[in-house]
Each structure stands twice: as C-alpha cells, then as structure tokens.
Amino acid sequence: MRILSRFLSLAVLTGLLIVPISEARTRIYLRIGPPPIVVEQRPVLVRPGYVWQPGYHRWDGRRYVWSAGVWARAPYRSAVWVPGRWVRERRGYYWIDGHWAR
C-alpha cells in the first residue's frame, strides 16, 4: 500500500510538471463593440527612453470609458509597446492587454 501511495504521488507530481501552464485569465465577452478610437495629440516626449502608449476604450462594467494615452518608460533599451486591442469573436468582443515586446 505504501509503495502504491508513493507511486501515485510521483505520478501526480510528474504530471503537474509536464502539463503546460495555461493562462488563468477569464475572458469577458461584450455584445456591444467599442466606439471608434479617439484621435489623440501626443504631448511632447517627456525624456529619452520613454515610449508612447496610445489611449484605448476600457469597459468599466456598464459602459466604455476612454483611457488617455501616456508616455511610459521602456523596461529595456529595445522595448516596443504592442497596444492592447478589442477582438471580435462569435460570442462578442473581448480585450487583449497591451504588452512590451523585443
């Protein structure tokens, strides 16, 4: 019995290590699409090493709200900001966050 218990424990641990880690985020689908993007005028560059992150519409639970663009400090020298976006699917619209890329 003790050997069987150890074998099962090892099998479970091995299975947990091999299984790829999936994203734990839940998508929230909206039936109403986002409004057109607001055309913003970029303020003057704050200082070298900063990257413009354009504004976007976010969902506040009841409606879309515009979040204005900002200058953000790049985490490393060759960093490029990939803006977030709304994606349309059969079930509705969902948001993909912006992120830094090389």
- The 10s digit of each residue's pLDDT in 80-95 is 999 999 999 999 999 9
What confidence score (pLDDT) does residue 20 get? 43
Per the structure block, which two tokens stand in for 62? 């009841």
Three-state secondary-structure class, residue 2: helix
Instruction: Give pLDDT < 70 ranges for the chain.
Output: 1-25
The count of C-alpha atoms lying within 13 angstroms of the C-alpha of 66, restricted to the half-sphere facing its C-beta, is 11
DSSP label of 96: E
The SS3 of residue 6 is: helix
Question: What pTM did the predictor assign?
Answer: 0.69
The whole-number pLDDT of residue 26 equals 85
Domain ranges of the chain: 27-101
- Tokens 């912006």 -> residue: 98
3-class state of residue 73 by DSSP:
strand
Looking at residue 88, its amino acid is R
Query: Structure tokens of 76?
Result: 């490393």
> What pLDDT is attached to residue 14?
46
The pLDDT value given to residue 46:
80
